[in-house]
């Protein structure tokens, strides 16, 4: 099913080297008996693919490596129907690589070598201004240098576009930047770190989100894993429950959520419906192994919503 949403994603692209093991090893320990898979990942790429599989017209702004993994990424994006005219083949850097350990319960530990991602510049983003001007919404994360993210936000605001920011991995953000974000999608840890610490529990969650609103964020959508999400706007607060599913791998759950939320908001879905749409996409993603391999199609999300 296609969508009316036109989305620009600025962010990272990696190859994920995933080992499934009974448990994640302690420092200095070797755990035998794992299974290895090579998959495509990176928070920016995951969110771009998530949005494309849900039918959006997606333009991805990123740097890929000048190596076999970079070639693989370009083929992957073309195969997903993502617009690649603003993907830069970096002449000097390797493609980003993530080493991911997944335990029997689906929890993960990840180490990333950013490669070409670390070289995405404000000028790279600036060259895509026409794409930003033509889109409905700009979707961002923090696996690329902050100046590139800041340029994307300033271009979005110049052209009156909404900004969705998934503040992961955690990076300290100035209030001047937060105040230009329409929808912020942190998990509990990221939200608390943005404020320099915070309480646990739902009262703490509410207080953390309220403080982010006071700092200028339009709407805070705190993702709570299997507990769903807690939403705080300047006018209301509400909790939307998660969906009970069998968890296999949580690697791309947040990316599935942010990509789906961006699509639903860009389409003009009523806000609570948009949140439920994003929760359904995220729930489906954790039932499968891998990052991009786990991201659902529009038909799958619609089927779950109507089940």
Annotated catalytic sites, by residue?
Answer: 255
**Contact partners, residue 102, CB within 8 Å, separation at least 6:** 18, 19, 20, 21, 108, 249, 251, 289
CA-closest candidate to residue 86, choices 128, 33, 129:
128
CB atoms near residue 113 (< 10 Å): 13
**Contact partners, residue 115, CB within 8 Å, separation at least 6:** 14, 65, 90, 93, 94, 95, 96, 97
DSSP string, the chain: ---S-EEEEE---EEEEEEE-SSPPPTT------EEEEEEE-HHHHHHHHHHHTT-EEEEEEEE-SSHHHHHHHHHHHHTT-B-TTEEE-SS-PPEEEEEEE-TTS-EEEEEE-GGGGG--HHHHHTTHHHHHH-SEEEE-SSS-HHHHHHHHHHHHHTT-EEEE---S-----HHHHTT-SEE--BHHHHHHHTT----HHHHHHHHHHHHHHTT-SEEEEE-GGG-EEEE-SS-EEEE-------S--TTHHHHHHHHHHHHHHHT--HHHHHHHHHHHHHHHTTSSSSGGGPPPHHHHHHHHT-
């Amino acid at each position: 099913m296609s969508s009316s949403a036109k989305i620009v994603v600025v962010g990272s692209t990696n190859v994920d080297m995933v080992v499934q093991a009974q448990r994640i090893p302690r420092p200095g320990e070797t755990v035998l008996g794992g299974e290895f898979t090579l998959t495509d990942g990176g928070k920016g790429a995951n969110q771009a693919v998530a949005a494309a599989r849900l039918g959006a017209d997606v333009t991805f702004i990123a740097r890929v490596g000048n190596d076999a993994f970079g070639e693989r990424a370009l083929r992957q994006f073309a195969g997903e129907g993502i617009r690649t005219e603003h993907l830069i083949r970096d002449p000097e850097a390797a493609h980003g690589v993530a080493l991911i350990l997944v335990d029997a319960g689906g929890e993960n530990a990840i180490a990333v070598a950013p490669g070409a991602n670390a070289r995405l510049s404000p000028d790279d983003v600036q060259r895509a201004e026409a794409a930003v001007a033509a889109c409905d919404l700009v979707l961002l994360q923090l696996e690329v240098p902050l100046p590139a993210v800041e340029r994307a936000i300033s271009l979005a605001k110049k052209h009156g576009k909404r900004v969705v920011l998934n503040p992961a991995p955690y990076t300290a953000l100035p209030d001047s930047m937060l105040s230009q974000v329409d929808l912020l999608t942190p998990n509990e840890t990221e939200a608390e770190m943005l404020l320099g610490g915070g309480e646990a529990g739902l009262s703490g969650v509410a207080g953390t989100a309220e403080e982010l609103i006071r700092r200028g964020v339009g709407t805070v959508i705190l993702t709570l894993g299997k507990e769903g999400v807690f939403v705080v706007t300047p006018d209301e607060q509400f909790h939307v429950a998660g969906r009970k599913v069998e968890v296999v791998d949580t690697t791309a759950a947040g990316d599935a959520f942010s990509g789906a939320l961006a699509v639903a908001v860009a389409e003009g879905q009523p806000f609570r419906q948009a949140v439920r749409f994003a929760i359904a996409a995220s729930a489906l993603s954790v039932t499968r192994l891998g990052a991009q391999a786990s991201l659902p199609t529009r038909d799958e999300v619609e089927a779950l919503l109507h089940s």
